[in-house]
Amino acid sequence: MSEAAMTSTGEVLPNGLKGVVEDFSADKQAFHVPWGKAMMWIFLLSDTFIFSCFLISYMTVRISATDPWPIPSEVFALSFGGDPIPLVLIAIMTFILITSSGTMALAVNMGYRKNRKLTFWLMIATALLGASFVGMQAFEWTKLIVDEGVRPWGNPMGAAQFGSSFFMITGFHGLHVSAGVIYLLVVAFRVKNGFYERRGGNYEIVEIVGLYWHFVDLVWVFIFAFFYLW
């Protein structure tokens, strides 16, 4: 029996347990994925579990609630001097986030083309759209708390669980958007100052930011469908 085995690259490894130990301790890379991107995927996977638990809990609470659940199209309606328009603010917020996904995708494309100026401005545009979303969410919260009297522990329009579900889910998502805006601004100004070019011109960080931002946008689609349309 041969005492050594040869890998596809021509490397000779001893057989048996010694060969296994040397192979696993050689720091082999099975998939050519940058470390930062791999860590972001792991973080997003863990975040997916958290948001899934929140949405499943929301559906369970809503189905099992004994008091009438408020009708979202009425609760989130806005009046501009005439009849209330259902979900108009939520529609605008959704449009803003979808648009920001487009500007973020363009920023990633420009980053890999080493177009520093366009990458910077597209990331700034994405951050501004995200900040606009957070501002509208703050307005939505203010309207519900001040004008409608909704609280995490009570709700004059029906089931008390409505307030706790709403503030928990949208608040946690809004926190992610706020963190994403800060993340975008930090990376954008580093791009503008040539920080990444001085480190070899690698713009993978822009794609990593894009992964986070697209995830936040995707989560909002589920929140929009389950919370506002159901």
Distance CA 102, CA 34 (A): 24
Q: What is the pLDDT of residue 24?
A: 67
pLDDT value of residue 1: 44
What residues of the chain score a pLDDT lower than 50?
Answer: 1-2
Q: Give the pLDDT confidence score for residue 19 in this predicted structure.
A: 66
Domain definitions of the chain by residue range: 1-30, 34-228
Q: Which pTM does this prediction carry?
A: 0.84
Please check whether residue 1 is in contact with residue 11, taking contact to mean a CB–CB distance below 8 angstroms: no
**Which CATH number is associated with domain 34-228?**
1.20.120.80
Burial-class residue 130 by CB neighbours within 10 Å (0-12, 13-18, 19+). buried
CA 39 distance to own-chain centroid = 15
Q: Provide Rg for the chain, Cα atoms.
A: 24
pLDDT at 195: 82
Three-class SS state of 5: strand
Q: Which candidate, 112, 105, 117, places its Cα nearest to that of 192?
A: 117
